[in-house]
Amino acid sequence: MADNPRPRKAFDRSIVEGSVARAVWRLAWPTVILNVVGGLQGIVDHAMVGHYVGYVGNAAIGVSWQIFLVVVVFLSSIFTGMGVLVARFAGADDPDRVNRTVYQAFLTTSILSLAVVAPVGYLLSPALLGLVNATAEVQVEALPYLRIMFVFNFGMMMFFMLSGAFRSAGDARTPMRLGIWYTLLNLVLNVVLIRGLGPIPAFGTTGAAMGTVIAGAAVSIVTVALFFTGGQVITFDRAMSWRPDLGIIRQLFHFGIPAGIQGVAMNVGGVLLLRFVGSLEQSAEAQAAYTVTYTQLFSLVSWTSVGLMGAAAAMAGQNLGAGKPERSVEGVRAAAGIGLAGAALVGGIFLAAPQLLLGIFGMDDPAVVDLSVQLLRYLAVSGFFITVALTYTGGLQGTGDTRSPLYISIVSQVVIPVGMCAVIDAVRGLDPSDIWLAIVLGHFTRAVLSVARFRQQKWRNIQVDIGDAQRGVGPNTS
């Protein structure tokens, strides 16, 4: 390879040496900050749409995102496979294979995003909206939003993929800085495009989608440029071949496909729950409550939990690559402890000030408010379970055990909540509280099974192999 303009930044060895708790926090806090900033942007979007379009707009964004995630989450399975390889190679202090892995993930994501997700998503959008029982007025708002997200998904997917590469390599601060710029740009664009400004008309709900994809494209270009200019923990070289490296791609999908199926299963479960919500007597009101309360306010828990999930994955994978599996265990436990403290704080806010939180979104319809307050009470409990589930899922996936979370998710996010709702609906008809309870029981099951599986420690023997001279990176390397 040709020399990079600037020398490569060294991997952060504090991840595999020194204080475990400090290493977990160094990995987690930048992602938590990024998630908070990004989540606030989503809250602003919903608040603006709620004020300028009404709760129908909130429901439209909610059902569109749920559908978008079902289709796109399979593409993001590549990110999980990449994260496993990058963390393992970074732990073994092997920058060449880190760079090669990320580059092949970049090429693969580009092809799938542009050639598969965009055209298929555009064509299937009307049928998918019908699947979730979206009312006619919600579908009017949701269809252009969903089609824009599918057709122009490339920038957003690329940004998430490259940010994940940085975090798996131990650099959580660079994606945080890029993500803040992404969020600020997205926020400015959405303020202009949702409500209009000067000669720019008000696009309403559609404007929220336009701002998201434009900001994603702009920041992803900057991120790719960083890889080529050097000075990062991951670097691309202009001499790199465009030819696919089948050894790496096989491993990307070997570790990633179970995570992709897991994501699809979880989001299919979410879509089916939305279908049940849409079948309630006050369907539009219930979907608006579900969208704002579960997908937005519950993010106050998931922002921290997802950051800790990434930290747990990097800690587990890098320390396994460095031959220190006991530090992998300690890292996941430390991440779960931090998550529980955060869930307790947020749960207290849900119980103490629900009306204040809902007022941010302009939710003043009495039926919507009543349903939202009821759901917040359930989610105050569910936060404890989901943070434990996510941190231990990160530990499993970071070590390369991506199949166990798949099976756990099918049971906990599909079989239990959807099965419970289906049985109750057939016996006496559903009440909103039945759906809210099903969500909590699903999260509880996921937490218990994830902890139990990780403690078995079968992940210690998982090896990776990209088909080159150095085979099997891990504690049992042959």
Using DSSP, state whether 464 is helix, strand or coil: strand
* Residue 473: per-residue pLDDT: 47
* Adjacent-strand bridge partners of 464: 473
Token pair for 284:
């539009």
Q: What is the percent of the chain with per-residue pLDDT over 70, rounded to a whole number?
A: 94
Angstrom distance (rounded) from CA 478 to CA 472 = 7
- pLDDT at position 26 over 80: yes
Q: Which of 15-19, 215-219, 354-358, 385-389 has the highest mean pLDDT?
A: 385-389
Average pLDDT over all residues of the chain: 86
Please report the DSSP string for 381-429 in residue order.
HHHHHHHHHHHHHHHHHHHT--HHHHHHHIIIIIIHHHHHHHHHHHHT-
Angstrom distance (rounded) from CA 131 to CA 150 = 17
* Residue 88: per-residue pLDDT: 92
Within 10 angstroms of residue 115's Cβ, the number of other Cβ atoms is: 10
Tally of structural domains, the chain: 1
Q: Which of 68-77, 260-269, 351-360, 390-399 has the highest mean pLDDT?
A: 390-399
Residue-number span of the structural domain to which 307 is assigned: 20-455
- pLDDT at position 471 over 50: no
In 384-396, which positions are buried (b, 16+ CB within 10 angstroms) versus exposed (e)? bbbbbbbbbbbbb
Residues 6+ apart with CB under 8 A from 167: 27, 31, 83, 175, 310, 314
Report in angstroms the alpha-carbon separations of 285 from 46, 173, 365, 372, 415. Answer: 15, 40, 8, 9, 26
* Residue 5: per-residue pLDDT: 55
> DSSP code of 13?
G
Give mean pLDDT, residues 220-236.
Answer: 87
User: Could you tell me if residue 185 is inside a domain?
Assistant: yes
* Residue 54: per-residue pLDDT: 79
- pLDDT at position 103 over 70: yes
Report in angstroms the alpha-carbon separations of 348 from 294, 362, 435. Answer: 16, 22, 22
C-alpha closest to that of 30 among 188, 127, 163, 193: 163
Q: Which amino acid is at 80?
A: T
In 321-338, which positions are buried (b, 16+ CB within 10 angstroms) versus exposed (e)? bbebbebbbbbbbbbbeb
Angstrom distance (rounded) from CA 358 to CA 368 = 10
- pLDDT at position 380 over 60: yes
User: Could you tell me if residue 239 is inside a domain?
Assistant: yes
User: Could you tell me if residue 1 is inside a domain?
Assistant: no
Give mean pLDDT, residues 108-129.
Answer: 90
- pLDDT at position 202 over 90: no
- pLDDT at position 67 over 60: yes
Q: Among the listed ranges 23-32, 318-327, 380-389, which one has the minimum average pLDDT value?
A: 23-32
Residue pair 74/121 in contact (Cβ under 8 Å)? The answer is no
Q: Which amino acid is at 42?
A: G
User: Could you tell me if residue 410 is inside a domain?
Assistant: yes
* Distance, first Cα to last Cα, the chain: 27
- pLDDT at position 139 over 60: yes
- pLDDT at position 429 over 50: yes
Which stretches of 92-195 are DSSP H helices?
A: 95-112, 118-131, 136-151, 154-168, 173-195
Angstrom distance (rounded) from CA 145 to CA 458 = 44
Using DSSP, state whether 468 is helix, strand or coil: coil
- pLDDT at position 179 over 70: yes
Give mean pLDDT, residues 194-210.
Answer: 89
- Under the banding of pLDDT at 50, 70 and 90, the label for residue 319 is very high
Angstrom distance (rounded) from CA 290 to CA 376 = 10
Q: Which amino acid is at 126?
A: P
User: Could you tell me if residue 470 is inside a domain?
Assistant: no
User: Could you tell me if residue 211 is inside a domain?
Assistant: yes
Sign of CA dihedral 359, 43, 202, 144: negative
Give mean pLDDT, residues 120-133.
Answer: 87
Give mean pLDDT, residues 156-182.
Answer: 89
* Residue 275: per-residue pLDDT: 84
Q: Among the listed ranges 132-136, 346-350, 368-372, which one has the minimum average pLDDT value?
A: 132-136
User: Could you tell me if residue 449 is inside a domain?
Assistant: yes
* Residue 326: per-residue pLDDT: 95
Using DSSP, state whether 197 is helix, strand or coil: strand
Give mean pLDDT, residues 423-436.
Answer: 92
* Residue 467: per-residue pLDDT: 64
* Residue 472: per-residue pLDDT: 43
- pLDDT at position 369 over 80: yes
- Under the banding of pLDDT at 50, 70 and 90, the label for residue 78 is confident
Angstrom distance (rounded) from CA 145 to CA 205 = 7
What's the predicted TM-score (pTM) here?
0.78
- pLDDT at position 469 over 60: no
Residues 238-296: pLDDT tens digits?
Answer: 888 888 888 899 999 999 889 888 877 887 788 788 888 888 888 888 888 888 888 77
- Under the banding of pLDDT at 50, 70 and 90, the label for residue 470 is very low
User: Could you tell me if residue 361 is inside a domain?
Assistant: yes
- pLDDT at position 455 over 60: yes
Residue pair 141/95 in contact (Cβ under 8 Å)? The answer is no
Angstrom distance (rounded) from CA 443 to CA 267 = 14
Q: Among the listed ranges 297-311, 392-406, 413-427, 458-472, which one has the minimum average pLDDT value?
A: 458-472
Angstrom distance (rounded) from CA 70 to CA 391 = 22
Between residues 244 and 3, which one has the greater pLDDT? 244
Angstrom distance (rounded) from CA 273 to CA 160 = 26
- Under the banding of pLDDT at 50, 70 and 90, the label for residue 421 is very high
